[in-house]
Amino acid sequence: MRPLWLAIQLLTVIPTPRVAGYDPRAFGLSVLCYPLVGAAIGALLGGAGWLLAGSDPLLAAALLLTLWTGISGGIHLDGLADTVDARVGSHGDGTRALEIMKDPRAGPMAVAALVVVLILKLAALAVLVRAQAWHALAAVPLAGRALPVALFLTTPYVRRDGLGAAAAACLPRGAGWLVLALVALLLIQLWGVPSFPLLIGLALLVALWRWWLIGWIGGTTGDTAGALLELAETALLVSLALVD
């Protein structure tokens, strides 16, 4: 259970049993549990949405978004903000970008990016609530948390220290690809026919994100993985809302 507790601690604010000691292999295995954590968040959101089905769709969407952001502690939004700040402030200098990502302050472009993402999520959630598309909604956190697994499997981790470096270095490759395949099969069951273009879109997003990161900073970081997750969730919500 150690890798699962580590994944929950990293991706949520849910209390877990204390994990003593430092074990790089456990951090690597914890990456495999990211989609499982996403599935749990999705189930919670789907259940909450079902309970709010009789309320105003916009209010229900706002409550769901608050729950969604709160349960993750805003960690992925922080990664998005840091990535935007680093891109704007580094002027293409990869070394400078990594330094900016460590700065806890958020610039105006980072704030603007967060506002846009949250507005899009809110609007899309309102549509899904109105359509009572609980299965579609529940699958989004699962899909979003599978993308960092794909990123870590295919992209060098540029920081040499920290928990992210240990997780990326010790991630079992074969098991990682197996987890992604299982997630894809589950998404096909949850989304039905729209799953195929959505899965292709997610694969293209990872490929483009990886290409952009390698050209910019030489690889990925925890912040850029979190940014990818937020962008993927937003794109999925908007796509599902447009389909409905």
pLDDT above 90 covers a percentage of the chain that reads: 66
Higher pLDDT, 136 or 165: 136
Closest CA to 137 of 215, 231, 244, 209: 244
Q: pLDDT at position 162, please?
A: 62
**pLDDT value for 21:** 65
3-state secondary structure of 195: helix
> How many other CB atoms are found less than 10 A from the CB of residue 182?
12
Number of helices (H), then strands (E), in the chain:
12, 0
Rounded percentage of the chain residues whose pLDDT exceeds 70: 98
Does residue 5 carry a pLDDT above 70?
A: yes
Which pair of tokens denotes residue 143? 């899909």
State the pLDDT confidence band at 176, using cuts at 50, 70 and 90: very high
pLDDT score of 234 more than 70: yes
Q: Is the dihedral of CA 87, 141, 179, 133 positive or negative?
A: negative
What's the pLDDT band for 72 if we cut at 50, 70, 90? Answer: very high
DSSP state of 211: H
This prediction has a pTM of 0.93
Q: Give SS3 for 171.
A: coil
Tokens of 217: 């900073």
| 177 touches 200 (CB < 8 A) | no
The one-character DSSP state at 219 is S
Say yes or no to pLDDT of 158 above 80: yes
Strand partners, 220: 157
Q: Which residues contact 214 (CB under 8 A, 6 or more apart)?
A: 155, 156
pLDDT tens readout for residues 27-57? 889 999 999 999 999 999 999 999 998 899 9
pLDDT bin (cut points 50, 70, 90) of residue 19 is confident
pLDDT at 79: 92
Average pLDDT, the chain: 90
Q: What is the pLDDT of residues 77-91, one digit of tens each?
A: 999 999 999 998 878
